[in-house]
């Protein structure tokens, strides 16, 4: 009975934390929106048009968040991903969205003794295909200056979920998941500059003993120099519901482990340097987490925007 009461108390605390963070996050977006004058925009791609980006993402970490949210050191580990992302208009109200990580490298540096100046554990790594995401975004309706849509994304376990000598060199999590998300967005005019703001709330149903996840995100951007340059900022929170059966502990942090929690801030610059062709650079940093690397990530990409 005592265990059951503690379990209920933990769930109550979790729900209160979720409500508080959602309330603060919504308040931040509301204050950001009301100080500028909105105007209409088209969010989904029209039929036959699309956005296509090939990119590289990299992370190198010698620290990680524990399952208690504390920061511990680990052997220097890295993850490098080359991928293709696309959003293509199938009709006026439906877009096809895809993320294909066609090359993923998960690796660890040699561990060298500081006192004996010799290798105590040799580094290793694997190269493999990653987990593919395929989804459909459906336009719901437009209410005033706000555009609403919903997205269903399927996570396909096409990567390697056990690699290296200890099985921790993964390029995928090995589970098939379904992510349902509601999106809302609007655009603004800020002293002659086009500005937009988007937010989303999603639920990720995970299989094979992984905990389901609540995901909340927001993004705002401004276009400069006759829409040639886009500056944007992002915030994203992933919270596990702790209803899975897999072990939640991980000694080195991961991006594929169970019960990962993260609150990250990111920024991106996109430069349209030739007609419909452009380049992007992004920087993302975690400000809180559990069972995940404590390190920033960098990404570079080239896109075609039709």
Domain positions in the chain are: 1-35, 38-305
Position 113 scores a pLDDT of: 76
Position 250 scores a pLDDT of: 52
Other residues' Cβ atoms within 10 Å of the Cβ of residue 303 = 18
Position 287 scores a pLDDT of: 96
Position 165 scores a pLDDT of: 86
**Adjacent-strand bridge partners of 189:** 37, 194
Position 41 scores a pLDDT of: 41
Position 14 scores a pLDDT of: 43
List, for residues 34-93, the tens digit of each pLDDT value: 333 333 344 789 999 999 999 999 999 999 999 899 999 998 999 999 999 999 999 999
CATH of domain 38-305: 2.40.160.40
Parts of the chain with a pLDDT under 70: 1-42, 248-253
Position 237 scores a pLDDT of: 97
Position 85 scores a pLDDT of: 97
């Amino acid at each position: 009975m005592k265990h059951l009461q503690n379990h209920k108390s933990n769930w109550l605390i979790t729900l209160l934390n979720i409500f508080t963070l959602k309330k603060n996050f919504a308040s931040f977006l509301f204050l950001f929106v009301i100080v500028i004058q909105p105007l209409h925009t088209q969010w989904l791609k029209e039929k036959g048009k699309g956005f296509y980006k090939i990119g590289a993402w990299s992370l190198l970490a010698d620290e990680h968040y524990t399952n208690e949210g504390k920061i511990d050191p680990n052997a220097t580990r890295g993850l490098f991903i080359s991928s293709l992302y696309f959003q293509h208009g199938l009709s006026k109200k439906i877009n096809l969205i895809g993320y294909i990580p066609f090359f993923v490298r998960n690796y660890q540096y040699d561990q060298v003794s500081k006192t004996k100046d010799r290798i105590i554990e040799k580094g290793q790594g694997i190269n493999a295909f990653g987990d593919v995401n395929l989804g459909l975004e459906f336009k719901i309706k437009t209410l005033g200056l706000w555009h609403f849509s919903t997205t269903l994304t399927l996570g396909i376990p096409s990567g390697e979920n056990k690699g290296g000598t200890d099985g921790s060199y993964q390029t995928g999590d090995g589970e098939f998941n379904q992510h349902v998300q509601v999106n809302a967005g609007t655009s603004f005019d800020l002293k002659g500059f086009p500005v937009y703001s988007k937010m989303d709330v999603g639920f990720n149903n995970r299989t094979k003993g992984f905990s389901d996840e609540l995901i909340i995100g927001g993004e705002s951007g401004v276009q400069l120099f006759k829409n040639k340059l886009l500056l944007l900022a992002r915030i994203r929170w992933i919270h596990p519901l702790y209803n899975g059966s897999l072990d939640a502990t991980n000694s080195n942090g991961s991006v594929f482990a169970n019960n990962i929690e993260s609150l990250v801030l990111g920024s991106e610059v996109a430069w349209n340097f030739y007609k419909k062709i452009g380049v992007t650079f992004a920087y993302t940093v975690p400000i809180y987490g559990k069972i995940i690397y404590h390190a920033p990530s960098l990404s570079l990409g080239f896109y075609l925007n039709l």
